[in-house]
Structure 1
Amino acid sequence: MAPAKDGEGAVSSSATPTNLYKDPDDGRQRFLLELEFIQCLANPTYIHYLAQNRYFEDEAFIGYLKYLQYWQRPEYIKFIMYPHCLFFLELLQNANFRNAMAHPGNKELAHRQQFFFWKNYRNNRLKHILPRPLPEPVAAPPASVPPPTAVATTAAPTPPALSPMQYGVPSGSVLAKNDMRNMSSDRRKRKKEG
């Protein structure tokens, strides 16, 4: 349907809106404000503050929290520096969690759990992602092959797998030599030798 024209051929203002809102910075300011707010949700103390000041009783604010779930999409998640904010955003969709965060004890519990997660996350993750050497199959050598001492090999021996605490530290470095686990094994070797 074509817009209505008046007698001189001009488009009348009733058919098309004349006052369209145009963001002067193409949404950059809104993007930054929402990013800052959502990252504040990674702090249990801030969530407690929102609960104490009754923000969670406002239906418009609850709707805003639902709207902010678009930050979980891959094109937006790459801008987030504190990924716990997405976890808390998901929890804030539940009315029971919103009510519970009004109590200081629950705020402290959430803060402690977050601390323990951060404390142990790297080591727990490295246990599962570090490559482990496959056990080498033991096969009986054929009778015609000479013993391994007489055969010259050109392949270098494979180094032992590093523990998660030594990950990224070269095996000949000072850090690896001064590691407490290495010191205790040296003591055991010296005890057996002496």
Structure 2
Amino acid sequence: MASKMESDSPTDTPPSPPKTIYKDPDDGRQRFLLELEFVQCLANPTYIHYLAQNRNFEDEAFIGYLKYLQYWNRPEYIKFIMYPHCLYFLELLQNANFRNAMAHPSNKELTHRQQFYFWKNYRNNRLKHILPKPLPEPNAALPASTQPQPPVPALPPVPATNVAVTASSTQAPSPMPYGVPPGSSLAKNDMRNPTVDKRKRK
């Protein structure tokens, strides 16, 4: 009897094997790429409409998976996102009303249209907030009558002309304006540069 009680004691039960923790064979690289691809697919309203049409949003496990994927908003993961709209739609998918609304084609078209308008006007709207605004003029608050008028710049003096006015206006201008004036004692040969002639002779 005593031996039977000793055999039934809890000390004789074999120890449970230690629990093994699952480890990805490629250190999670394949899982990382699959989740990154799925998250970026959420940037397409047509794909969200496809998920809603197939009733994936009625599955509690899928809704939990969408909640789990919010870790992509963290700085160490967000740098891998190429389509940032996917994070915006991932946030909207946490709402049951948005999930139900995306099952209708009209809402899908509306979402796609709004996304297009955002892409179209995003740069111009962003530049309005990025570019520096000009400083207000200091005299803008004064009335127009009291504002000082800018000084009028003085006109430059007219240069004096060395052209002599001839008495007869019918005389035609000389065809050689740079030639020797009539009545000059200089010969035409004196006008040539002697250094040039020496170079030519060499």
Question: Structure 2 length as normaliser, TM-score?
Answer: 0.60
Distance (whole Å) between structure 1 residues aligned to residue 31 and residue 100 of structure 2: 28
Q: Which residue of 2 aligns with 1:122?
A: 123
Distance (whole Å) between structure 2 residues aligned to residue 120 and residue 104 of structure 1: 25
- Is 1:26 aligned with 2:27? yes
- Is 1:87 aligned with 2:103? no
- Counterparts of 1:56-71 in structure 2, within 5 Å, are 56-71=57-72
The one-letter code sitting in structure 1 at the alignment partner of 2:111 is: A
Residues 156-182 of structure 1, C-alpha deviations (whole Å, 9 max, x = no match): xxxxxxxxxxxxxxxxxxxxxxxxxxx
Q: Which residue of 1 aligns with 2:146?
A: none
Runs of 4+ in 1 over 4 A off after TM superposition: none
Q: Which residue of 1 aligns with 2:97?
A: 96
Q: Which residue of 2 aligns with 1:52?
A: 53
**Cα distance, 1:73 vs structure 2:** 1.2
The one-letter code sitting in structure 2 at the alignment partner of 1:112 is: R
Q: Which residue of 2 aligns with 1:109?
A: 110
Question: Structure 1 length as normaliser, TM-score?
Answer: 0.62
Q: Which residue of 2 aligns with 1:14?
A: 16
Aligned residues: 130
State the identity %.
Answer: 87
**Cα distance, 1:92 vs structure 2:** 0.5
Cα 1:55–1:129 shift into 2, 3 Å: same
Q: Which runs of 5+ in 2 are unaligned?
A: 1-13, 140-150, 154-202
Distance (whole Å) between structure 2 residues aligned to residue 15 and residue 21 of structure 1: 15
Across the aligned residues of Structure 1 and Structure 2, the Cα RMSD in angstroms comes to 2.1
Q: Which residue of 2 aligns with 1:167?
A: none
The one-letter code sitting in structure 2 at the alignment partner of 1:121 is: Y
**Cα distance, 1:135 vs structure 2:** 3.5
- Counterparts of 1:165-180 in structure 2, within 5 Å, are none
Q: Which residue of 2 aligns with 1:135?
A: 136
**Cα distance, 1:15 vs structure 2:** 5.1
**Cα distance, 1:25 vs structure 2:** 1.2
Distance (whole Å) between structure 2 residues aligned to residue 83 and residue 127 of structure 1: 21
Tell which deviates more after alignment, 59-68 or 20-29: 20-29
Distance (whole Å) between structure 2 residues aligned to residue 50 and residue 123 of structure 1: 33
